[in-house]
A and B are shown apart, each in its own frame.
Chain A
Amino acid sequence: MKTKRLLLAVAITALVVAVILISLEAYYVAIALVAGTLIIGHRELWSLIRTRKMPPIDERVRENTSKSVRNGFIFFAIATAFLMLPFSVRLIETPDTVHVLGGLFLSGGAVYLLSYLFYDRIEPGLGEKGLKMLKIFLLVAGISFGTFIISVFLHNAIYGLFIVWFGEDFWDRIGVGDEPVFFFISLLAIVALAVGIIGSLVIFIKGLFSKSL
C-alpha cells in the first residue's frame, strides 16, 4: 500500500512538473523527466501490470535511493556553483534561465538515474574485477578531462604571453605558428577521454545486462 501511494505521488509530481515545463517550452526537459520517471519506476509498473502487486520498498532500495539522491544533489550543487562563476556565465550563449535551470535539473536527474542503476544492478552484477576496471576507466576519463581543460588554458596563456614578451611574430619566427606542447597534450587528453568514456560505458552496459538477476 505504501509503495502504491509513493508511486502515485511520484507519477503525479512528474506529470505536474512536465506540464509546467511544457508551458515554459522546455520540451526536452519534460520528455527527459517522463522518460527518467518511467525508467526509475519500470520494475514497480511491470509488477503492477503483471501481478497487480507492488514490490516492497526494502532497506536495499532505500539505501540505493538515498545514495543516488545524494550524488544527484552533489552534482547539482557543483554545477550550480560552476555556473555562478562570472567567467562561466559568459560561456552560455543564450542566458535563458528556464533552459539553464532545465539543463541543470536534467543533468542532476541523469546523475541520479545512473547512480541508481549503478547501485541497484551494476555494482552487484559486475563483481570485483569488473568494478576495478570501471574505476580505472572512470579515473582515466576524469583525469583526461581535467588535463584537457588545463592544457587548453595553458596553451592559450602561453601563446598570448609569449607574444606579449617576445613580439607578435614570435611563433612564426620559431617556425611552429602556434604553441605546440600543450596543444599536443590536449589532443592526447581528448583521445584518453574518449577511451575512458567508451570503456566505462561498455562495462556499465555489461553490468546492466549481467546474469546475476
Chain B
Amino acid sequence: MGIRMKTRIKEFRAKYNLTQEKLAEMVQVRRETIIFLEQGKYNPSLKLAHNVAKALRTTVDEIFVFDE
C-alpha cells in the first residue's frame, strides 16, 4: 500500500475566509487544481506546496498530512 496524502487546505481556507477561487488566484493556479489538492487527488510540486502553505500563512507539513 502506498502513502496516502490528506490536506488541511479546506480547514485553513475557512480560517482565513478564502474561497477556492481566491486561493487559486493567490497561488497562480486553476481552481480545479485547488479542488484536487483539497481532495488529496493531486500530488503538488514542492514549489506549489510551499506557495499554498505561504498563502495560508502556515507551513507545508501543517497543510499536507501523510498517512503511512
Contacts and interface: CB of A to CB of B under 8 A. Distances in A.
Contact of B30 (A61, A124, A212): A61
Chain A CB count within 10 A is highest, among B28, B30, B45, B48, for B30
Contacts of B42: 60, 124
Contacts of B32: 60, 120, 213
Interface in B29-43: 29-33, 35-36, 39, 41-42
Contacts of B35: 212-213
Contacts of A59: 29, 33, 44-45, 47-48
Given A59-B44, A59-B48, A212-B41, A124 B29 contact: no
A55 B47 CA distance: 19
Interface in B10-68: 28-33, 35-36, 39, 41-42, 44-45, 47-48
A56 B41 contact: no
Q: Sort chain A's interface into a size bin.
A: 10 to 19
Interface residues of B, number: 15
A163 B24 CA distance: 71
A58 interface: yes
B39 A124 contact: yes
Contacts of B36: 60, 124, 212
A56 B44 contact: no
Nearest to B30: A55
A118 B6 CA distance: 22
Interface of B: 28-33, 35-36, 39, 41-42, 44-45, 47-48
Given A60-B36, A212-B39, 11 more contacts: A55-B31, A56-B28, A56-B30, A58-B30, A58-B48, A59-B29, A59-B33, A60-B30, A61-B30, A61-B33, A124-B36
